[in-house]
Amino acid sequence: MRRWAPVAAAICLIAASPASTEDNRVTITAFVERFYRDRDVAGAFAAHVEPDYIQHNPGLPDGRQAAVDALAPMFARAGSRFEVRHLLVDGDLALVHLFGQGDPATPGAAVADIYRLQKGRIVEHWDVLQPIAAGSNPMGAPTRPAARPEPGTASRNRQRFAAFLDLLFNKKQPDRAYTRFATKTMIQHNQRLGQGRDATIAALKALFANPDASFAVQRVLVDGDLAAVHYRGKLSRDDRGASVVELFRFADGKIVEHWDVFQPVPDRSLNPHPMF
């Protein structure tokens, strides 16, 4: 697992091997097509997932077959929807950001699935699932795929994102982080934070001012103009906390759009692994 500490911020400056990233992009793209779009759950897992893969979803035990048994009926249900909005690949990690509606009678959920690959196979999985509240739209409108960023974009954004995360989570200075790295007109998909950079800063300052609040970053992905961070957020020492994925879009070196997915940590799990 990737950990974060103030003295280790430079870790994010080390770009993942382009060869490993692109090889894994081929694998995860094929998996995404077969799993989410074709809904061939058993076929996708057989082709791309190791039998003993490690499961961090607290509602599932370890192993490929347990995931297939749980997911196949949901994906086969009439009226269910699984719409992939973003795919990031960075070294041995991949993140799929999607709208999931396993039960058409519900508003669905914002979902972030994170996969770790090894030797061309998926060997570990984390996810964050946030039920969509009536009247809200945390996913935003579907967008057409952006053109492939110019060479070097990921490297430059990796440096900016590392500095942004250092200010935000290590120094707990959301005002400096967002003022320096986000545009004033940043599109905000978390409706609780308001719209634009200044509303986001105002909403976050109270949370970050709490001396007992903590934000433990677990893994970071940067892929072209997209960057994501997965962390455990706690607002008090006794709080079990939440698993959070935040996704940012960069343009011309600045953050111009933000999504997030939030899930409280339950008190029980069907596997021995933390959600992180």
Token readout for 79 is: 């009226």
Token readout for 22 is: 């692109």
Question: 3.10.450.50, 3.30.1330.60, 3.40.50.300, 3.30.1490.20: which CATH number matches 150-264?
Answer: 3.10.450.50
Statement: residue 97 has pLDDT above 80: yes
- pLDDT band with cut points at 50, 70 and 90 for residue 106: very high
Domain locations in the chain as residue ranges: 18-131, 150-264
Q: Which of 178 and 18 is assigned the larger pLDDT? A: 178
Of all helices (H) and strands (E), which one includes residue 95? strand 93-101
Once rounded to an integer, what is the mean pLDDT over residues 157-175? Answer: 96
Q: What is the pLDDT of residue 19?
A: 61
CA atoms of 261 and 246, how far apart (whole Å): 7
Which of 218, 209, 227 has its CA nearest to residue 173?
A: 209
Once rounded to an integer, what is the mean pLDDT over residues 207-218? Answer: 91
Q: What is the pLDDT of residue 71?
A: 97
Helix axes 64-76, 41-48, angle to 10 degrees: 150
Q: Tell me the CATH number for domain 18-131.
A: 3.10.450.50
Of all helices (H) and strands (E), which one includes residue 48? helix 41-48
- pLDDT band with cut points at 50, 70 and 90 for residue 4: very low
Question: How much is the pTM?
Answer: 0.91
Edge to edge, the sheet with strand 182-188 lists 182-188, 254-264, 242-251, 226-234, 214-223
Q: What is the pLDDT of residue 133?
A: 84
In the chain, the percentage of residues whose pLDDT exceeds 90 is 76
**pLDDT tens, 5-28?**
443 443 444 456 666 899 999 999
Q: What is the pLDDT of residue 7?
A: 33
Once rounded to an integer, what is the mean pLDDT over residues 135-140? Answer: 74
> Is it true that 18-131 and 150-264 share their CATH fold?
yes
Q: Which is it for the CA torsion 219, 115, 245, 184, positive or negative?
A: positive
Statement: residue 2 has pLDDT above 70: no
Q: What is the pLDDT of residue 151?
A: 65
**pLDDT tens, 49-92?**
999 999 999 999 999 999 999 999 999 999 999 999 999 999 99
Q: Which of 166 and 150 is assigned the larger pLDDT? A: 166
In the chain, the percentage of residues whose pLDDT exceeds 70 is 89
